[in-house]
Amino acid sequence: MIQKVMLFAGTTEGRLLCEFLSEKNITACVCVTTSYGEQLLPSGENMEICTGALDRAQMEEKLSSFRPQLVIDATHPYARLATENIRAACGFLNLPYIRVVRESCGEEKNGAETAVAAGETAGPEITDITHKIGGQEESRLLTEADSMEEAAKLLEKMEGNILVTTGSKELEALRGLPGFSKRIFARILPQPEMVQKCMEMGLSGRHIICMQGPFSEEMNYAMLRETNARILLTKESGAAGGFPEKLRGAKRAGAAVVVVKRPVEEEGCSVEEVKVLLQNGGQDTGSDGRPDNSQALLSGNTPAAVQNGGGNTVSCLRQNISILGIGMGSADSMTEGVKKLLSRAGLVAGAGRMLDACGLTEGTADGRRVLCAWEPDIICRTIEESGEAQTAVLMSGDSGFYSGTKKLLQALEAYREQMKGRREVTIHVEPGISSLSYFASRLQISWEDAKILSCHGKEENLLAAVAGHRKTFVLTEGQTGEICAELTAGGLGDTLVYEGTNLSGPGERIRKYPAREYRREGKDGLTVLFLINDRYDRFPVTGIPEESFLRGRVPMTKSEVRSVILSKLSVKEEDIVYDCGAGTGSVSVELALAAGKGRVYAVECDPEGIELIRRNGEKFGCRNLTAVEGMAPQVLEGLPAPDAVFIGGTKGRLSGILEALRQKKKPMRICLSAVTLETVSEALGCVESFRLQNAGACQIAVTGLQPIGGLHMLKAQNPIFLIWGDLTE
C-alpha cells in the first residue's frame, strides 16, 4: 500500500479521499485554498493540512519537501490553472500523478446546437437548451457559454438583475456589464477577503449575499425572487455543487439561466478507482493521470464492489454513521464531540427543527448533502444510495432520553447486516445534553429522585405521578394549560410549576407559578415542566384501606385479598389488564397503580358500580383506568388483548369469558375469585378444559379485630377461593 500521498482537494471528491487516507492511516499532505475547505477535512496525526492558494513554484517547493509516492489532483473541474500547475510540477519532479474526475449531471439538447462552436470569433447566440436531471426536464430558458468571458457577452444582450453564483473569483469578467453595481447580486462564501474583493469592484449592501451552502431549490427560488433577478449565472458544477437545485429554483422563478460549461472532460479516475489504487500498492499511470489498467478497475458494478485487474474483490467500502444528540437547539448546548462529528459529515440527516438548530438547509452544496427526514427507512435508503463515508443523523436533546435513536438503531443494525461483505458499516452514538439535565441545572434542582413522564404521543398517568412524588418532570406537546387544569381538578392545584420554553435558545423563557394560577403567556414553543408537590403521598400499590374508597351499596374486595390477587397476576408497569366484575373498582384501582404505563379496563354491568369505578379512579389519579359498562364476554370483543385478567364475578359465564380471552391469541395471566363451592368446581373444571399452565388455588380466610365495649374480639370474614394459571393457547 502507498504510504505517502499529496492530495490537492477543495471538493467533495477531495474530502472523500482525505477521509479514506485518514482511515487507512496513510501519511498525507492535503492542500485546500480556503479555511472553509479545511474545516470539512478530518484531522489526525497522519494528516498535514495546507491552506491557501499555491502557484506552480510554491507547488514544486511543497512537493520537493514532502516527496510523496503519489500526487492526487481532486481540485474543482473549473480550476484549470490549478490542474495545469499540478501536472507541470509533477512532470518537472517526475512524480506519479492521478487526476480525479467528477461525474456531471445528464443533459439533452432537443436538437439545438451549442451557443458557439469552438473557434468561432463571433459572440455566442442564445439558444433554447433543455437540461434534464433524473430524466425530468428542468429548464427551457437555458444558455451555455464556454467561459466567463463568453457568459459576459451573453449577459450584455440580456436585461434584468443577475444572481451570480459562480464565486467571487469570477466577478472580474462581469465588471464591464452596463449597470454592473446595480444589476449584479453576488452570492459568495461568508469570508472577509471575498467581501472585500466584491466591495473593491463596486458592489455593496444587499448586492453582496454572504451565505454558506448547501442551497436547496427553495432557497435558490427565494433568492431569485428577493433580488428580482431575471437571470441566474452559474457553473455546471454537477450534483455535488447543487446544480440541479439551481435549475429547479430558476424554473420556478421564471428566470433564464446562463451556464458556464465545464471544461472539456479530461481523462482521469473516479474516487473509487483511486481508493483501489491506494489499497493495491500503486500502479503505473499514464501521462493523462489515469492508471494503465483503468478499464479493469472499472469492471465492478458499484463503488462497494470495485475489482482489481485480476478480478478479485478488494476490501469493502467503509461507512461511519454517527447519531448525534444536539442538545436543546443552540450551538452552545452542543458538545464538542457532536460539533466535531457534524463538521466531518458529508451526509447530514434530521428533522427540520434539528437542521434549523444546526444552521443547515436541505440540499447539496460545498460537498455536503443535507436530508430533511427523520424516518429510519428513508435515512437508511439514502445512506445506501449515497455511499457516503461519514454520515451524521441529528436527534434533539440527548440521544438516549425519549429519543428516536432506539428505532433508528434497529434500522441501522439491519442495514449493517444487509451490507455485510459489501460495506464495512460502523455505528456510533454521541450523547447530548437532555432537556431534563439542562432545565434542572437552570433551576438548581437535583433530578435523581424525580418521576419522569413524556406526553409526546401517549397518555401518562399524570395525577398519580404528581400525587405520589415530590418532583415530576414532564416533556409536553404544548399542553401546559390542560396539565395545570387536570392537577387543579384533581386536588393538586397547589403544585408548584416550573415552565421552561425554548430552552438554551434566544427565546428561552422560564416561569414559576402554582398550577391553579396558570395563565398563558407569550407564544407557544417547545416546553418542559418541573412539578414540585411538597404534600405528596405515595399510595401503596396494594392493600389500600377499604375506607379510602368510595363504596355505596356495591360489594368490595377486602384489602388482604386484593394483595394476593396482585401477587398472583404479577402485573407489570406497561401491562394491559382486565378486571371483569369490577364492583366498586377497588381491585381496578390497585391494578391501575401497578400498571402505571399500561391500561386497566374495569368491566361492570351495574350502573352504580360504573359510577363508583370512575369516581374512585379519579380519586386515586388513575388516568389509565377505563370503566366499561356491560356484560362479559360480549364487551371484551373490542378491547385490546390483555397481559393479565382478574375475574371477580362471572354470573355463570366463566367458560364463555375464558373462550373470549383465548380468541385474543395472546399469552396472559389469569386469576379468578370464588365464594361458593359451585363456582370453585366450575373454575377447576375450566383450568382443566382450557389447559391453564402453572395453575394453582388457595383459600383465604381473613379474621379481623372488632372492638366490643372495652374488649376486642376476632370477627371472621367469608372465606374466598382464588384460582390462577397462564392461558397460553
Reference 142, options 224, 231, 26, 226; nearest CA is 231
pLDDT at 105: 54
- The residue ranking higher by pLDDT, 540 or 92, is 92
DSSP H helices in 601-720:
607-619, 654-662, 677-689
What mean pLDDT do residues 605-621 have? 91
pLDDT at 273: 87
Q: Inform me whether the pLDDT recorded for 702 exceeds 70.
A: yes
Give the model's confidence band at 208: pLDDT under 50 very low, under 70 low, under 90 confident, else very high.
very high
Q: Tell me the one-letter amino acid at 247.
A: L
631 contact partners, CB below 8 Å, separation of at least 6? 605, 651, 653
What mean pLDDT do residues 631-649 have? 95
Q: Inform me whether the pLDDT recorded for 657 exceeds 70.
A: yes
pTM score, two decimals? 0.51
pLDDT at 309: 28
pLDDT digits (tens, 9 = 90+) for 153-188: 999 989 999 999 988 888 999 999 999 999 999 999
The C-alpha atoms of residue 44 and residue 186 are separated, in whole angstroms, by 36
Q: Inform me whether the pLDDT recorded for 112 exceeds 90.
A: no
pLDDT digits (tens, 9 = 90+) for 265-291: 566 788 888 988 888 765 444 444 444
pLDDT at 521: 81
What mean pLDDT do residues 358-384 have? 87
What mean pLDDT do residues 247-266 have? 85
Q: Inform me whether the pLDDT recorded for 535 exceeds 90.
A: no
- The residue ranking higher by pLDDT, 465 or 561, is 561
What mean pLDDT do residues 623-630 have? 94
pLDDT digits (tens, 9 = 90+) for 705-727: 888 888 989 988 889 999 999 99
pLDDT at 266: 60
Reference 478, options 462, 496, 499, 509; nearest CA is 499
Reference 255, options 243, 247, 244, 265; nearest CA is 247
Average pLDDT, the chain: 84
Q: Inform me whether the pLDDT recorded for 116 exceeds 80.
A: no
Q: Which domains, and CATH codes, for the chain? A: 4-103+266-305 (3.40.50.720), 131-260 (3.40.50.620), 317-430 (3.40.1010.10), 435-532 (3.30.950.10), 546-727 (3.40.50.150)
- The residue ranking higher by pLDDT, 17 or 343, is 17
Q: Inform me whether the pLDDT recorded for 511 exceeds 70.
A: yes
Percent of the chain with pLDDT over 70: 87
Exposure string over 541-562, b if 16+ CB within 10 A, otherwise e: bbebeeeebbeeebebbbbbbb
Strand, coil or helix: what is 623? coil
pLDDT digits (tens, 9 = 90+) for 434-477: 999 999 999 999 999 999 998 876 677 788 889 889 999 999 87
What are the DSSP E strand ranges found in 236-343?
256-260, 317-325
- The residue ranking higher by pLDDT, 551 or 225, is 225
Strands 229-235 and 161-164: parallel
Give the model's confidence band at 125: pLDDT under 50 very low, under 70 low, under 90 confident, else very high.
very low
